[in-house]
Chains A and B, each alone.
Chain A
Amino acid sequence: MPRLDITVEICGMAGDGTIAAGGLLNEAVSLGGLFVLAFDSYPAEIRGFGRCVTRARIGETPRIALEEPTHVLISLDDEQSLSRVPSLASNSVVFFDNRPPSYIPEARSLAAHLGHPTILYGMPMADLAAGAAGTTRGKNLTALGGFAAVFGIPPVLFQRVISKKFQSKGDKVLEANLKSFDAGYEYAQKEFSERLSAPFPFPEAASEGETVLTSGNQAIGQGALDAGLQLYFGYPITPATPIMEFLAQTLPAQGGRVTQMEDEISSIGAVLGACFAGRRAMTATSGPGFALMTELITHGVMSETPAVIVNAQRGGPSTGLPTKTEQSDLHAAVFGGPGDSGRIVVAPTSVAECYSYTLKSFQWAERYQIPVIVLTDFYLDNRVESISPLKPDADAAEDRTLLPDPDAKGPYERFKITESGISPRAFPGMEGFVFKATGLEHTEAGLPSYTPENHTKMSEKRHRKLLSALADLPEPEEFGPEGSLDVGVIGWGSTFGSVLEAVESALERGLKAGALKVTSLFPYHANHIRRFMHRCRAVLVPELNFEGQLADLIGHLHHRDVVRLNRVTGQPIPPTAILKRIEELIGAEAE
């Protein structure tokens, strides 16, 4: 019997409670023991207009990517949901409000766009909510009630998560929401009694706490906390703001401090200042804010000051598409800023990696005395996944700084030339280790120097340090069979989940395909990537950007042009789109 693996989508107008309903759905089915991967998409404006969509892939086994098509659509607003029709499976299930406030012409009616075999469940969502709780605001909950009844989801799961969400708002609000849910559930049980679907296969003994629903941003925040973060400086920007919100609630309890600065320049300045003084500090921003930070990031490179900067990418350029996902800051993260300012850039590919990479970034930053950029994107930051509870290594918060030898003779040289490029680092105030720090090119002692010999020597030192760091950074991971491949797919960031799932599907179809996960984007493991490429007749690089920024970065390692698959739709690439390209490439080779 095939295992449950369906995609459920809720779509409505801003203000309909779409995202809230999605959160409750994810929590409820997760509480029952199913695995969830979910992602919200909403307009940049706070409220009032624009489409909100929350998509959840729900299954009996963990999933690594959102997939198309959508199997269930819960429409809270027909007009907004019309755009979702092309992504529906032919035999999808659609819930819609069959008592809208006014008459709707056929051209704007969702039902009119859904012919058989789509299964329609029309229910008076708003009317039921108004009847049960005196307000139509609970129509999202009546819709969830209908969904629960049709798919045999025990109502207690929803009632528990509704209670958890609304208990802090008082009994009246909680009761209204529970009543709205119950009204939808009871209506559907009665009206759809002959059309109830096979119930969701919840495991009989789901033990609570085995998995937790965690967003990428929460995982980043938790990773920073477990790494011993002491100071967070930031300026709000979508999609990075939830990191600051999470830390504002948790960091003070650990003795740390969160400070909202006046802008991104002061944020990175404060982070560098704190790190210079020997504290663990970080900031998080998105493309426009990152652009403002770049000059000071290179100051961190020049002054060899550790820092952790999260760049949660969104659609660009400029303010761009604040609430859409994109992977178009890779070049900015790797190359942004003046001079040869190599820094470490890593890109986690899952919520669990958001945690582990953030945690490790503090260690890399300290060990190599360099800014570390954790490059995520809206799809990764804002998605929730069912993951095992996050646990830090025992030494997660240990300081990795190479300290100067207290018994060393002679004057202290903060930027001493070493084989590894790493110089023993003293903190301001350490007795006997006075040094000068500057953003100007400097000598080993830290004094400004512009001589050709010194600039060459110090440039070599700073880049030698990157080579040392490379040995410490995660190697690319290969998936699929050994030996030659017809198509090798290289993925990074949030797109890798889709890459891996596409390759798994290709292998199931007997195609010779493999995947390479690259998380260390600078410096990167050129030899490893080259070895993988040379096993492949064609190398495919899917990315959520127009230019093919990873393809530009590593494409020269291959003896043939890499094949690019670029999307700038603001939405994740579904595995099916990558699989289709793999099949096309293999078909073309065969011809």
Chain B
Amino acid sequence: MKEEHYVVVGNGPAGNEAATTLRDKAPSARITLIGREHRMCYRPKLLPAYLSGTIEEEGLYALPLEHYQEKDIKLRLGQRVVGLIPDRKELVLDHKEIVPFTGLILAVGGTPRIPENLHIFRELMFTLKTVSDAKRWMKHLREVEHVLMIGGDLTSFAVTQALLDMGKRVAFVLNEESFRPLRSSPEIYEEAAHVLKARGVEVIEGRRVRGMSRLGQDSIEVMVEDKRISTQMVGAFFGLVPDVGFLVRSGLHIESGVLVDETLHTGSEGIYAAGDCAQVYHPALRDYWVSIGHDNAANLGRIAAQNLLGEQIEVRVPAESIFQVDGIKVNTSWWKEF
């Protein structure tokens, strides 16, 4: 009899929940969890606390190695999937290894989004999605006193607080993007501006960043509309984009993420997607929505695993909790986690 080999790509909450569920429901199957980073699964929302020194690195990690040993889940970290051949049920890894599977769950998450107009300044900006990002922040923060926060998303508020805790001076370009993926409203805007100012943050209101240039080793000039702001470090927080570039030639339906039906099925036999990288069809909306946040991701991972093993569970999200940002419909329940 052919060996059942379930592969989960992505070492975040969706991937880990999927792998654990697969093991619990399919005790004799071979299960492989592939992660691009070299690190064990960690909680990204703790990264601001880590970079401020409130918690140690060990405190970031969600699951111990023993979990994978007990569950007999092969954990392959630091290995990048670069291709998928659905018809042959094969994954291609960066080092030219072909991994066959009988079932696959894509849970690759997202990477920091940088708006197109700022792409050329990418090297001047710091994002915060990974532990490596946090280490870069920590290394650089030793040398700087002033940080300019641009874009926004709720992580940026946590980072701002961390920077203040470290005694840094912070300026914040506050505009409608600062609440991504929520739409800004006068009430939210006013409240955020008030809180930031009360904590000593210089708030630069209602302006857009147009460009930036390095003046010296620790000096960056940022053009905020017609104003030039001098800073030593720029933090960029524009949300995440699903990390699905490797699937472009796979034949799977890709938009901003992997398009899946209400059961998280991609349309290719034995292949499911979950977490931040999945765009889930909502029959009431007749459109796709994405989910953000740890709990939502884990929930989708569990459902994808159950469905891969033969169940037909539909993801149910009330239509009213889904709204649109930049053309993408987003489940607002992620709010609760921040």
Binding site for B on A (CB under 8 A): 96, 98-100, 102-106, 109, 111-112, 115-117, 119-120, 122, 194-195
Contact = CB atoms under 8 A, between A and B. Distances in A.
Contacts of A99: 95-96
Nearest to A101: B96
Contacts of A115: 68, 74-76
Contacts of B74: 115
Interface stretch (B97-105, B223-231, B234-242): B97-105
20 contacts: A98-B96, A99-B95, A103-B97, A104-B97, A104-B98, A105-B97, A105-B98, A105-B100, A106-B99, A111-B76, A111-B79, A112-B99, A115-B74, A115-B76, A116-B40, A116-B76, A120-B38, A122-B94, A194-B132, A194-B135
A116 B79 CA distance: 11
Contacts of B97: 103-106, 109, 111-112
A190 B257 CA distance: 31
A133 B38 CA distance: 31
Given A99-B96, A116-B75, 13 more contacts: A98-B96, A99-B95, A103-B98, A104-B96, A105-B100, A106-B100, A111-B79, A112-B97, A115-B75, A116-B77, A119-B78, A122-B95, A194-B135
Q: Which 10 pairs from chain A and chain B are nearest by CB?
A: A98-B95, A116-B75, A109-B97, A106-B99, A116-B77, A103-B96, A115-B74, A122-B95, A115-B75, A104-B97
Contacts of A103: 92, 96-98
B95 A195 contact: no
A419 B77 CA distance: 76
A111 to B, nearest CB: 6
Nearest to A109: B97
B41 to A, nearest CB: 11
Contacts of B92: 103
B65 interface: yes
Interface string B51-89: 000000000000001001000001111110000000000
Contacts of A122: 78, 94-95
A103 B99 CA distance: 10
Contacts of A98: 94-96
A86 B75 CA distance: 17
B93 interface: yes
Contacts of B99: 106, 112
Contacts of B40: 116
Nearest to A104: B97
B75 to A, nearest CB: 4
Contact of B65 (A111, A117, A119): A117
A195 B74 CA distance: 22
Contacts of B78: 119-120, 122
Contacts of A109: 95, 97
Nearest to B35: A116
B79 A120 contact: yes
B95 A106 contact: no
Contacts of B77: 116
A100 B93 CA distance: 12
Interface string B120-160: 00000000000010010000000000000000000000000
A173 B76 CA distance: 39
B77 to A, nearest CB: 5
Contact of A195 (B38, B65, B76, B100): B38
Contact of B95 (A96, A116, A119): A96
B75 A119 contact: no
A100 B96 contact: yes
B198 to A, nearest CB: 37
A104 B92 CA distance: 10
A100 B76 CA distance: 19
B88 to A, nearest CB: 12
Contacts of B93: 111
Contact of A112 (B68, B76, B132): B76
A377 B236 CA distance: 65
Contacts of A195: 38
Interface in B1-42: 38, 40
A449 B306 CA distance: 95
Contacts of B94: 98, 122
B242 to A, nearest CB: 24
A116 B74 CA distance: 8
Nearest to A105: B98
B132 to A, nearest CB: 6
Contacts of B98: 103-106
Contacts of A102: 96
A98 B97 CA distance: 9
A116 B96 contact: no
A378 to B, nearest CB: 35
Given A98-B95, A102-B96, A116 B132 contact: no
A54 B173 CA distance: 59
Nearest to A112: B97
A111 B75 contact: no
Contacts of A116: 40, 65, 68, 75-77
Contacts of B75: 115-116
A146 to B, nearest CB: 14
A100 B96 CA distance: 7
A313 B75 CA distance: 44
A104 B98 CA distance: 6
Nearest to A106: B99
A55 B64 CA distance: 32
A200 B132 CA distance: 24
Which of B77, B79, B97, B99 gathers the greatest number of chain A CB atoms within 10 Å? B97
A93 to B, nearest CB: 12
A78 to B, nearest CB: 9
A104 B65 CA distance: 27
Given A112-B76, A116-B65, A117-B65, A100 B38 contact: no
A111 B94 CA distance: 11
A96 B40 CA distance: 21
A122 B80 CA distance: 11
A103 B93 CA distance: 10
Nearest to A114: B76
A117 B68 CA distance: 11
Nearest to A124: B95
Which of B68, B76, B95 gathers the greatest number of chain A CB atoms within 10 Å? B95
A106 B95 CA distance: 11
Contacts of B76: 111-112, 115-116
Nearest to A90: B65
A111 B77 CA distance: 10
Nearest to A121: B78
A227 to B, nearest CB: 54
A112 B81 CA distance: 13
A105 B96 CA distance: 9
B83 to A, nearest CB: 10
Which of A100, A112, A119 gathers the greatest number of chain B CB atoms within 10 Å? A112
Contacts of B100: 105-106
Nearest to B139: A194
A120 B95 CA distance: 11
A119 B38 contact: yes
A531 to B, nearest CB: 49
Contacts of A96: 95
Nearest to B99: A106
Nearest to B92: A103
